[in-house]
Structures are given as C-alpha cells and as structure tokens.
C-alpha cells in the first residue's frame, strides 16, 4: 500500500513540472488551453495552478478584452522577478559567475 502512495506522489510531481514547463514555454495561457496541451483534467489543472500560485511561481493575468461577453478570460504566466539562479562556467584558467532571473534576464 505504501508503494501506491509513493507512485501517486510521483505522478503529482510529474504533472506539476509539466504544467509549469508549459506555462513557461507558451507564455500567458488560459487554464482550458493548458488542460488541452497537458492532456489533464481541468480540475487537476486548477489544483496544480493553485499550488504554483501559492508558491509565488506563477500569477494570474487578465487577457485584453476581445469583445466577448461574460467574465474576462484569465491567463497564467511565470513570475520571474525575485527568483534568480546562478550560472558557473569554469574554463582553463578562468571562472565566470553570472546571475540570471527566471526569464533569462542577466542581472550580474
């Protein structure tokens, strides 16, 4: 029975990585489009994106009004400010350190 719990956690982790990668690659995307691209149920997408929003890794953005009636379409995009990563390049005789934001913007 413990094996099944571990297996379920692994699937959740894989789905979370998939959703984050798709948002990063496709830019602003609606939950419905994301569900189609990831081939996951809309309820799963909602749960995963709620976790990512609470972790401050993605944020909701409103799409510009396209003339449709009803509630405006809400998209999801990566939060890149405040998240950095350090790159280290070691060559013969030199060491190069670079600090980047998540959106690949060079900071230092």
Residue 97 to residue 27: CA distance in whole angstroms: 28
Q: Considering the domain boundaries, does residue 105 fall inside one?
A: no
Query: What is the structure's pLDDT at 62?
Result: 80
Q: Considering the domain boundaries, does residue 10 fall inside one?
A: yes
**Is the pLDDT score of 3 beyond 70?**
no
Read off the pLDDT of residues 32-45 as tens digits, 9 standing for 90 and up. 899 999 999 999 99
Q: Considering the domain boundaries, does residue 100 fall inside one?
A: no
Query: What is the structure's pLDDT at 44?
Result: 92
pTM of the model: 0.70
How many domains are there within the chain? Answer: 1
Read off the pLDDT of residues 61-103 as tens digits, 9 standing for 90 and up. 887 666 667 677 778 888 877 778 888 999 989 999 988 876 6
């Amino acid at each position: 029975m413990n094996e099944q719990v571990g297996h379920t956690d692994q699937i959740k982790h894989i789905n979370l990585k998939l959703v984050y990668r798709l948002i990063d690659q496709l830019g602003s995307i609606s939950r419905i489009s994301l569900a189609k691209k990831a081939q996951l149920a809309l309820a799963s997408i909602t749960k995963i994106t709620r976790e990512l929003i609470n972790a401050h890794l993605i944020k909701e953005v409103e799409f510009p009004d396209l003339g449709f009636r009803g509630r405006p379409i809400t998209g999801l995009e990566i939060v890149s400010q405040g998240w950095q990563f350090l790159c280290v390049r070691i060559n013969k005789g030199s060491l190069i350190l670079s600090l980047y934001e998540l959106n690949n913007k060079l900071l230092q």
